[in-house]
Amino acid sequence: MEKIYQDICAYIDSRAEWMKERRRDFHKYAEAGWHEVRTCSIIADHLVRLGMDRVLMGSECFKADARMGLPDQDELDRVYQRALDQGAILPYAEKFRDGFTGVIGIIDTSRPGPVIAFRQDIDALGVFEDRTPGHKPYAGGYSSVNDGEMHACGHDGHATVGMTVAETLMKFRDELCGTVKIVFQPAEEGVRGARGIAESGILDDVDYVIGIHMYDRNTEEDYEIGVRANEEAAKLGKPQIGLAYARNVANAKLDVWFYGKAAHAMHPESGNNALLAALAASQAIYAIPRTSLGDSRINVGQIEAGSGRNVVCDRVKIVMELRGYTQEALEYNEAYARRIIEHAAAMHGCGYEIRMMGATAAVMLDTPEFVDELAKMAREKLGMIVAGPAPGNNSEDYSFMAMRVAQHGGKSCFFHCLTEFPDVFHGTGFDIDEADLLNGAKFFCGAALHLMGR
């Protein structure tokens, strides 16, 4: 291993204990999408202390109206106060009020070189964490104290890796060239946060964008990035990094309201029944004719309706999503669903409203030749055991970043930091091994050095 790579790996190794504590603190104070005030304030404080050339905070990171699926103002106010109560760092915390929970740290060496962006998502999700002694975070006293919010997807690890990468690259700043932008993105769950950052234009000069996700090294599912995907790697030992040539599945998450008119059930003719409109729409949406434009999925997952047994229902909310393996298949299904909603409402004399709560784009998350290059870098320059690359599918709002960078001729790699999961993604017993986070930080830093021509 060349000395600079050795030095960087040694530095990251020396931060193992700090990383473990950092991740456990994020885990304990889990903040779901658009709630991440405390998390962002800690990241911002860290980046400022490191002396990064620029630290963009809050509204500086977003095109405000491209953010999707924001909670209502009462909830935003409540979680802001909660963040302060739980030790959010002022004055930074104020920057992240009202759904502006993003941070971007920039190293601008002013020496000629590539512009590189690293993306970490930082949000928890709506899961009640397991509170039984068999669950390591509970036994260790760092399970979530925020009921119904849990890091059950490993983004606490991603945030920690990003902070470590920032620290490491700043430590070796004199050895670097070009620009590195380290993006801490909120609200990946529900695929709500990335579009606002991508559309801010911050990535428009980026030559290379790299994203991370924790993944189970023992998996044999979609990505095929586990042991089975690369028997050569398996012979060497446990794979540390997984690489894929992943295509992203396009995704549209819609909340739909039907507005009718309440009346006494003795006189239904005086009302307009929103429940009938919602049921007619739900049935018809499942019956959209198949398309040859691509494989697709449809789900109406939730209905909230009505106010009483003897009242004609005047208000219904349905929560639904559409997925397409091609953009065209998604657009076909979405347009069809919108027509159904409009006419089901009209059929029962109701009004309606559709809100886009989250979305992803159908693009390649990975530029194959770029992935190959980074696989080679990780094996040869970092001495890592790399599984894959293998073909895969995904549904990630990182797709907006990959798409934006590709539109300007840049390349993308979405890599997997491999660990072992005691429970499934989003399960109440989900956990990661912090020791595996070191590999994520090494991969990012190794990629930076390599792309800078080291």
Q: Which residues pair with 27 in a beta bridge?
A: none
Task: Return the range that interacts with Zn ion (CB under 5 A); candidates 142-150, 151-159, 262-270, 314-322.
Answer: 151-159
Between CA 112 and CA 176 the distance in angstroms is 10
Contact range with Zn ion by CB under 5 A, out of 57-65, 147-155, 238-246, 277-285: 147-155
- Per CB under 5 A, the segment of 70-78, 146-154, 259-267, 403-411 that binds Zn ion is 146-154
CB of 89 to Zn ion, least distance (A): 25
CB of 272 to Zn ion, least distance (A): 39
Sheet-wide strand order for 315-324? 296-305, 315-324, 250-259, 351-360
Q: How many CA atoms lie within 13 A of 328 on its CB side?
A: 5
Q: How far is the CB of 397 from Zn ion (least distance, A)?
A: 10
The residues that bridge with 318 in the sheet, in sequence order, are 256, 303
Cβ atoms of residues 449 and 4 within 8 Å: yes
Following DSSP, what letter does each residue of 177-188 receive, concatenated?
-SEEEEEEE--T
Contacting residue, 9, 153, 322, 341, with Zn ion by CB under 5 A = 153
The C-alpha angle with vertex 197 and arms to 363 and 225, in degrees rounded to 5, equals 40
Q: 434: which DSSP letter? A: G
Using Cβ positions, the residue closest to Zn ion within the complex turns out to be 153
Question: Are the C-beta atoms of residues 396 and 248 closer than 8 Å to each other?
Answer: yes
Task: Tell me how far, at minimum, the Cβ of 214 lies from Zn ion, in Å.
Answer: 8
Q: Which is nearer to Zn ion, 159 or 202 (CB)?
A: 159
State the minimum distance, in angstroms, from the CB of residue 221 to Zn ion: 14
Q: CB-wise, 95 or 217, nearer to Zn ion?
A: 217
DSSP 421: -
Nearer to Zn ion, 331 or 396 (CB): 396
Q: Is 161 in the site for Zn ion (CB under 5 A)?
A: no
CA distance 77 to 346: 37
Least Å from the CB of residue 409 to Zn ion = 28
Instruction: Report the residue number, 33 or 99, with the smaller CB distance to Zn ion.
Output: 33
Q: Which is nearer to Zn ion, 155 or 315 (CB)?
A: 155
| Closer Cβ to Zn ion, 9 or 244, answer by number | 244
Nearer to Zn ion, 153 or 159 (CB): 153
Least gap, CB of 53 to Zn ion (angstroms): 29
Return d(Cα 203, Cα 116) in angstroms, integer: 9
Secondary structure of residue 354 in the 3-state scheme: strand
Residues of this chain that interact with Zn ion (CB under 5 A) are 153
